[in-house]
Amino acid sequence: MRLILLGPPGAGKGTQATRLAKRFNILHLSTGDMLRAAVAAGTPVGLRVKDVMERGELVSDDIVIDIISDRVDEPDAADGFILDGFPRTVAQAEALSVLLEEKGLTLDCVIAIAVKDEALIERITGRYSCAKCGAGYHDVYHNPKVEGVCDTCGGTEFIRRADDNVETVKSRLLAYHGQTVPLIDHYTLKKLLTNVDGMANIDDITEEIAGVMAGISG
Ligand SMILES: [Zn+2]
């Protein structure tokens, strides 16, 4: 089974992809992880990525497609994969479709996890972590048991990521919607898209996606 997981930053794509890949015994392909792995392994495409990153440039679609292509050829990808973080644009979706076609593979479905912007802003801007041990907390969902004291290490200093502020999150969401709406239309036209309510709790979302996947494989 081969599927794509779409969703805005903060929608929990990574968590869902990890759980579902395990349950269905298929690969979780995160493009970020694949890029890092290719660099670490020193493959020809990894060396190209390293070059690009050292120059401070963005890795091009061609390179990402080459990396996905190499990874999909490996024996452990035979039963399928969940792509997380790619494609982000219609051009990337088209390149992916060409690649799969060349290999005689089909894409079975595209799952779009939908979360309201206000909820994403609350999720992301509420995040903070212990300055000492890195334990993660949230203003609304998960504060330390004793106010101002880290549950894990007893530390009393907490930090927030600079890019987790409202303005930055809003502009990331704006960019996401600009790119993703056409992508969702693209896969809707191909009759591959299923929308999943990302406002439900994490376990319910997993079950809903698992149900869609079971329907396809069954
Ligand atoms: Zn701590």
Mean pLDDT (the chain) is: 92
Model confidence at 217: pLDDT above 80: no
Q: What pLDDT is attached to residue 107? A: 96
User: Within its chain, how far is the Cα of 105 from the centroid?
Assistant: 22
Active site positions, annotated: 13, 88, 127, 161, 172
Distance between Cα 157 and ligand 1 center (Å): 8
Who wins on pLDDT, 80 or 216?
A: 80
Structure confidence by residue, pLDDT tens digits, 19-42: 999 999 999 999 888 888 889 999
Q: Which residues surround ligand 1, an ion (CB under 5 A)?
A: 130, 132-133, 135, 150, 152-153, 155
- Alpha-helical runs (H) found in 42-193: 44-54, 61-72, 90-102, 117-125, 166-189
Q: What pLDDT is attached to residue 175? A: 87
Q: What pLDDT is attached to residue 162? A: 85
Distance between Cα 117 and ligand 1 center (Å): 30
CB 11 within 8 A of CB 123: no
Distance between Cα 153 and ligand 1 center (Å): 4
Distance between Cα 169 and ligand 1 center (Å): 25
Distance between Cα 129 and ligand 1 center (Å): 8
Distance between Cα 163 and ligand 1 center (Å): 21
CB 97 within 8 A of CB 180: no
Structure confidence by residue, pLDDT tens digits, 153-193: 999 999 998 888 899 889 888 988 898 889 999 999 999 99
87/202 Cα distance (integer angstroms): 23
Q: What pLDDT is attached to residue 142? A: 93
Q: What pLDDT is attached to residue 3? A: 96
Q: What pLDDT is attached to residue 33? A: 87
Model confidence at 218: pLDDT above 70: no
What is the Cα Rg of the chain in Å?
19
Structure confidence by residue, pLDDT tens digits, 48-103: 989 888 888 888 999 999 999 989 999 999 999 999 989 989 999 999 999 999 99
Q: What pLDDT is attached to residue 204? A: 95
Task: Average the pLDDT over 112-138 and give the result.
Answer: 93
Distance between Cα 156 and ligand 1 center (Å): 8
Task: Average the pLDDT over 133-143 and give the result.
Answer: 93
Distance between Cα 158 and ligand 1 center (Å): 8
Model confidence at 10: pLDDT above 60: yes
Q: What pLDDT is attached to residue 130? A: 97
59/182 Cα distance (integer angstroms): 22
